[in-house]
Amino acid sequence: MSRAVLSIGSNLGDRLAHLQSVVDALRPWLVAASPVYETAPWGGVEQQDFLNAVLVVADPAAGARDWLRRGQAAEDAAARERTVHWGPRTLDVDVIVVDDVVSCEADLTLPHPHAAARAFVLVPWRDVDPGARLGGRGLSDWIATRPADEVADVRRRADLVLR
């Protein structure tokens, strides 16, 4: 059984519809979807706020590269353009972890190298899998290492729901 955690985000166009498109594409393997959060952009590029969520997915026939390909297919379907590193995008799907896989390949680093530093990944992930661990530490422990203002900026949007 391959179980993966995917972080999804959008800050262009119909942001919620872009997130929903990933849920729809991965529905056969969907275990859980977090609430939707609105967050400031990460990486220093001026742009609109993102909608973010985390998905837990499972497929006994899938490996880490399969999750990467499925995420990239969802990005392609949303007309994702890769013009500015950490710039605005219709859809971003990041593979955060796949089981206990460790990968240091150029196009697939697992666990995701920035996951522990991103409150917009950690907070929604904790919502759907409170007992999850990253690098041997619980998600709440990682969240406690983030600046309080960064964590407070991960704002739950109760009015927006992934179905």
CATH of the domain at 60: 3.30.70.560
Average pLDDT on 21-26 reads: 98
Number of domains in the chain: 1
- Look at residue 96 and tell me if it is in a domain: yes
Residue that is written with structure tokens 């992934």 in the block: 162
- Please report the pLDDT score of residue 79 as a whole number: 85
Within 10 angstroms of residue 61's Cβ, the number of other Cβ atoms is 8
- Look at residue 52 and tell me if it is in a domain: yes
- Please report the pLDDT score of residue 1 as a whole number: 66
Residue 35 contacts residue 157 (beta carbons within 8 Å): yes
* Tokens describing residue 21: 């498109």
pLDDT, averaged across the chain: 94
> Is it the case that residue 144 has pLDDT exceeding 90?
yes
Give the tens place of pLDDT for each residue, 85-101: 767 889 999 999 999 99
Residue 58, φ and ψ in degrees, nearest 5: -150, 140
- Please report the pLDDT score of residue 86 as a whole number: 66
Residue that is written with structure tokens 């991960």 in the block: 154
Residue 36 contacts residue 24 (beta carbons within 8 Å): no
- Look at residue 161 and tell me if it is in a domain: no
CA gap 58, 45 in Å, rounded: 33
Give the tens place of pLDDT for each residue, 24-83: 999 999 999 999 999 998 777 778 999 999 999 999 999 999 999 999 999 989 888 777
Domain that includes residue 12, residue range = 2-156
Give the side-chain half-sphere CA count within 13 A for 156: 10
Average pLDDT on 112-117 reads: 94
